[in-house]
Amino acid sequence: MELVEERQQGPFWVTYGAMFFIMAASYGLSHILNPGQAAVNMFYWYMARAAGFTAYLLLSLTVILGVSNTSAVWDRWKLRKLITQMHQYASLLVVPFIAFHLWGLYQDTTIQFTLGSFLLPFHAAYRPFATTLGVLSLYGMAALIGSSYLMKRIGPKTWRSIHLLSFPTFLLVTLHGMLAGTDSGQRWALFIYLVPFTVFLILTSKRMRKVKVRA
């Protein structure tokens, strides 16, 4: 996968431009309007929650499309190229919503999250194990996205090897959301996590069976 092909350049710059604009606007307005720290914290708390769920759903879509495509699920309908493009575009959208999630956590002073909380395992005071799963997931996604940018330089074989990280990374992200999220005890939240993960497991099992048959 070439993460940003020529036809994706426009959507890429619009998406990431909008990301930086929203982050800057939220920061500026919270200081200009000065509604009070409690209201600012509530705004960023909602941002962190909404962006976290959105990022997870987009990541789920990305992973499911990728695994189903490599399992030849779409070949019978000749949709492999279309699914590949959908997989690529969904990948572009994951990063901005992860950024919104982290930005919301950082700006919400109810629980202090520092830069070290996002980058260092067991550094956060809030649910350190669950937060560490998120840190490891962040590194996994950075490796996946970075290798996609560098695919022409590192070669398809190395890229495929690195891309195997998508399986443990998705597992870590799912556990992070279920253990760290404030809404994780709600049925609707469990539904959001468990349905995509179950589909992912079914498709992964199907892919592994195909690999064994070829071997």
The three-state secondary structure class of 13 is helix
Percent of the chain with pLDDT over 90: 61
The closest of 61, 49, 59, 33 to 101, measured between CA atoms, is 49
The closest of 94, 97, 2 to 47, measured between CA atoms, is 97
Confidence at 2, pLDDT banded by 50, 70, 90: very low
Of 132 and 184, the structure prediction assigns the larger pLDDT to 132
DSSP character for 103?
H
Count Cβ atoms below 10 Å from residue 75 Cβ, excluding itself. 11
Render pLDDT for 23-76 as a digit per residue (tens, 0 to 9).
Answer: 999 999 988 888 999 999 999 999 999 999 999 999 999 999 999 988 888 988
- Is the predicted pLDDT of residue 1 greater than 60, yes or no? no
* Average model confidence (pLDDT) across the chain: 89
Going from the C-alpha of 155 to that of each of 4, 71, 78, 84, 148, the distances in angstroms are: 16, 22, 26, 19, 10
Q: What is the mean pLDDT of residues 192-201?
A: 95
* pLDDT (0 to 100) of residue 195: 96
* pLDDT (0 to 100) of residue 23: 94
Phi/psi at 3 (nearest 5 deg)?
Answer: -60, -40
How many helical (H) and strand (E) elements, i.e. helices and strands, does the chain have?
9, 0
**Percentages of the chain per state (helix, strand, coil), in multiples of 5:** 80, 0, 20
Percent of the chain with pLDDT over 70: 93
Render pLDDT for 68-117 as a digit per residue (tens, 0 to 9).
Answer: 988 888 988 989 989 988 888 888 889 999 999 999 999 999 998 999 99
The position carrying tokens 């987009």 is 58
C-alpha–C-alpha distance, residues 24 and 27, integer Å: 5
